[in-house]
Structure 1
């Protein structure tokens, strides 16, 4: 990474601005994309029902571990369980209330040990049987240890993304944020294995990201192009910012972590440039200079800058999830998860829904 000279430290003028991207849609709202068509069945409802059922299964797992082998980590487990309650509240938005006999459009409410808008299940609840359908986690037997709970979180993080392309922009962004949170829990509990996404249900269409059949570039939709250009601009700023981070970190593991993050952001920048170019767009160029959001004068403040960069990028990639479809949406969700993991590595305290505006505190 380049060492920051005096001009770099004084003229890093656009870092904070380049990393701010307003999402294309809200984070936890219900109703899919049915504006002007209130009588049309909401295609998000079955996806939300599956996601709520998976969350209820995790809540039951947490309760079982807290009642037994998880006592030594009770505070951490309760914190993660509170995140799950926040996930459930957001995911259940728009699902039928307990008194409804059927959901709008004829969908059947999920049976998940609790009503979609009600109290999460306790350890005595019977977890739903995922059955292997998209959007539900793979079955893995009883959860009777912290290690098994971590594995369940990791499996669920992948299962969340099976329905990603079938979801509306708002729900896709929410599913990606919940998946990232699940992955954070798994890593914190000791399971940093690969996140595997089950085969998704068939999708109507995917965002083109390469040459068309005629050999000419296939254009991206305008919203996708705008969000991808914003992600590229943010990665330009991140690469520049990590140049400062690396110069202040001491030789050893910390600096190696800085170099690794720097290389990841270079690769992301190059990938977004490639995709934009292959779609016939002119990639956003790096700015001549960027301003740090606060002075960096030590290894401690360098770590804070790294955490700030990654935290801001979670919002950028949540917006990219909402603005895209197909493989590009999956790539954006992966980027959201990875930048959330790096943010916590550098000491950031992320919310229950990384990349989304703070939600009202949930009770449970």
Structure 2
């Protein structure tokens, strides 16, 4: 197996490094006054998110207080994570704003069962996406991460319906951010020419977005390679089928980012001739651990992509983050309350070694 060359951006075992590169590209070196204005603009968004989180916490309390609450231990664990979400969302809020949202809990539909709670998690996860376009880069990243966590919670409680943002919250695609079609970006007009017969002009991507997309593309190149190893180590059966499905999904994501970079006048990052695996993969258990590792690391890549982009592209990055988080859960990864952000102490969540 060839080892990753120095010209390549990352290896499978170092996908976490891409998070640092990608986060760095969002630093605009703004003045203290600019930073204060950003924080002020985020205040109503944070207040709204905290109010929605309080509704969820009230729902957890109502279900846990019910007679013979099923899955009590799981519910308590999920509630603890929601409490972490609230603390993160309330950062920077005045004390009065951070506590006043409790009165909003009565406005939501009553939650008395685990099924209703799962639906509330899914709905709230979608609502988190409504403020992505208006949020500062760092708040947008947090909102996308919390939305992904809400999707994980809903799935853990049995609700696997798609998480979608309110229709009015999704920006209209522009020339620089083609609309998604399934898991791939749409391409320019099929004719490839204007009325005069010349090739249509490409709208250059902003430098920060192009850099962020190149990082995401490099990560998907590595993921495609990794899933080739995962599939080869799985016996014929459901897990091999899952590996093949994931392999195709990451190929589609890779192709979508390549098309978007091409349409923005950038030369897409090429795949490396080979990648260094983060650990030996000799059997199905190791393959499952590798798949979990790939997806956990991709949550960080896509969380940073949310912060580096805007508009419809930011929504797509948030969707990719959510899908990576759900895939990591499928492969048995142990995740933090905020998938895509560093765990306490800066450590990256480790995938489970269970078969």
TM-score normalised to structure 2 length = 0.82
Deviation at residue 219 of structure 1 after TM alignment? 1.1
Gaps of 5+ in 1: 1-6, 27-32, 99-107, 114-124, 130-138
> For residues 217 and 207 of structure 1, do their structure 2 counterparts lie closer, same or farther at Cα, with a shift above 3 Å needed?
closer
What secondary structure does 1:233 align onto? helix
Matched-pair contact (CA < 8 Å) for 1:49–1:110: no
The equivalent residue for 2:105 is 127
Q: Does 1:229 align with 2:214?
A: yes
What secondary structure does 1:276 align onto? helix
The equivalent residue for 1:119 is none
Higher normalized helix content (fraction of residues):
2
The equivalent residue for 1:193 is 161
The equivalent residue for 1:133 is none
Deviations for 1:43-66, whole angstroms, at most 9, x for unmatched residues?
A: 100000000000000000000001
The equivalent residue for 1:50 is 48
**Distance (whole Å) between structure 2 residues aligned to residue 258 and residue 74 of structure 1:** 33
Deviation at residue 174 of structure 1 after TM alignment? 0.1
Equivalences for residues 127-276 of structure 1 within 5 A: 127-129=105-107, 141-200=109-168, 208-209=176-177, 215-276=200-261
Equivalences for residues 33-112 of structure 1 within 5 A: 35-37=32-34, 40=37, 42-68=40-66, 71-98=69-96, 111-112=100-101
What secondary structure does 1:36 align onto? helix
Deviation at residue 170 of structure 1 after TM alignment? 0.1
* Aligned residue pair count: 317
Gaps of 5+ in 2: 6-10, 25-29, 179-187, 346-355
> For residues 347 and 39 of structure 1, do their structure 2 counterparts lie closer, same or farther at Cα, with a shift above 3 Å needed?
closer
Deviation at residue 187 of structure 1 after TM alignment? 0.4
The equivalent residue for 2:18 is 21
**Distance (whole Å) between structure 1 residues aligned to residue 344 and residue 32 of structure 2:** 23
**Distance (whole Å) between structure 2 residues aligned to residue 18 and residue 285 of structure 1:** 16
What secondary structure does 2:177 align onto? coil
Matched-pair contact (CA < 8 Å) for 2:50–2:98: no
Deviation at residue 215 of structure 1 after TM alignment? 3.0
Matched-pair contact (CA < 8 Å) for 1:18–1:233: no
Deviations for 1:246-268, whole angstroms, at most 9, x for unmatched residues?
A: 01111111111111111110000
> For residues 34 and 203 of structure 1, do their structure 2 counterparts lie closer, same or farther at Cα, with a shift above 3 Å needed?
farther
Deviation at residue 341 of structure 1 after TM alignment? 0.3
